[in-house]
Amino acid sequence: MTNGAGPDVVACFQAGFETMKRHPILVLPPLAVHVLLLLLLFFVWGGSIGAGAVMGGMMGGGPGALAGGALGFAAGGLLFLALSTLLSLLASGVVVLMARDALAGQTPGVGDAVGGVISRTVDVVLASFLVTLIVGVGLLLFLIPGVIAGFLLLFTLPAVLLDAHGAVDGLRRSFRVVTANVGPVLGFVVGAILVAVGAGVVGVIIVHVPLLGPLAMAVVNGALIAYLTVVGVRLYQALPRR
């Protein structure tokens, strides 16, 4: 999974694995977001449905409660989606900065990484919104354009956080890096898919374990996100630029 001039992609996966073993704290940000989202699902979405039903019932009896509940379901769903997207973005950014430190032989700190992401929140959110918009429109246009866009914009977040680019410049940097190194990046994507499939198989097995299954599944998902982020950062740092 390499090209003649590019880095050894397999070595990047190995480096990511060794880094995860030395610094398991890298799993903490995505794991914490998983747990927080479960709580938000109950309190935000469930609370919106309940509040809507109560208010609707006070104004219109049974039909009003039904309509209010439906409105609360829609409003709560949108609010939950917005919060989950923002939290996931921030967690991904935190892992990117922690991975940079860990790969450099330093001890990654959650607090410092959180501070670094918060200081760049506007660029992180805007860049992620632009990527989502571009990929989403591409997916609507017969799927393939969206897949290509996602591939070309794969390193937008590392470009914003590691190279201090603005949102738009981060998209441009990712495009330049990927188009100059198609072979290694494609190798990374293939490897990531294989790793994700393996994690999915493990998840299907452990999710049915009584009581501990959902928690174990959250740990597996957090470890998967952290691991692939570390490998992606390692590859991004190793890729030649033009």
pTM (two decimals):
0.82
**Nearest-angstrom CA–CA distance, 41 and 202:** 25
Residue 234 is predicted with a pLDDT of: 97
Kindly state the DSSP code that residue 23 receives in the 8-state scheme. Answer: -
Q: What phi and psi, each to the nearest 5 degrees, are found at residue 207?
A: -65, -20
- The pLDDT confidence band at residue 55, using thresholds 50, 70 and 90, is low
CB of 26 closer than 8 Å to CB of 19: yes
Q: What is the mean pLDDT of the chain?
A: 83
For residue range 78-119, list pLDDT tens digits in order. Answer: 666 767 777 787 888 999 999 999 999 999 999 999 999 999
How many CB atoms lie under 10 A from the CB of residue 62?
A: 9
H helices of 104-143, in order, are 110-119, 121-140
